[in-house]
Amino acid sequence: MMMDGAQRQNTIGSIWPQLVDLLSDHSEWVLKKAEMLLPQDDLRLVDREPELKKKRLLVLDMVLRDVDTNPEVFRKFIQSVCMECDLPMGLEITLMSISQEGEGGLNHANSCSSRVVLNL
């Protein structure tokens, strides 16, 4: 089922707080993903922030901003989360669905063998 833009935005808005919460103990992982995905200007802003928690939140805000401005960054980040993190099944399914909107599907070849274990 394809979502229209408003449905997609509503879905992202409803699940984003849960994702931010699940990644709260994984700042280093989030920052490593940022280094791979975000433009240098964004990374410089992140580097200026002294607190690790605030860096993580800034990166997640940038990824969320990129839903429309740079959908490829958003898609790759969400796919990495789904492939590398242990998420509740419902959240993972929703994230995978959102990341596939307008794409041909997930590229599982980029999957890493190690997964971040999120203690739920």
The token duo for 30 is 């989030």
Structural domain spans, the chain: 8-100
Single pTM value for the model: 0.78
Instruction: Give the pLDDT confidence score for residue 63 in this predicted structure.
Output: 95
The Cα–Cα gap between 21 and 81 comes to: 13
In order along its 120 residues, the chain shows pLDDT tens digits of: 567 778 888 999 999 999 999 999 999 999 999 999 999 999 999 999 999 999 999 999 999 998 888 899 999 999 999 999 999 999 999 999 988 764 443 343 333 334 555 544
CA distance 15 to 83: 17
Q: Are 2 and 11 in contact (CB under 8 A)?
A: no
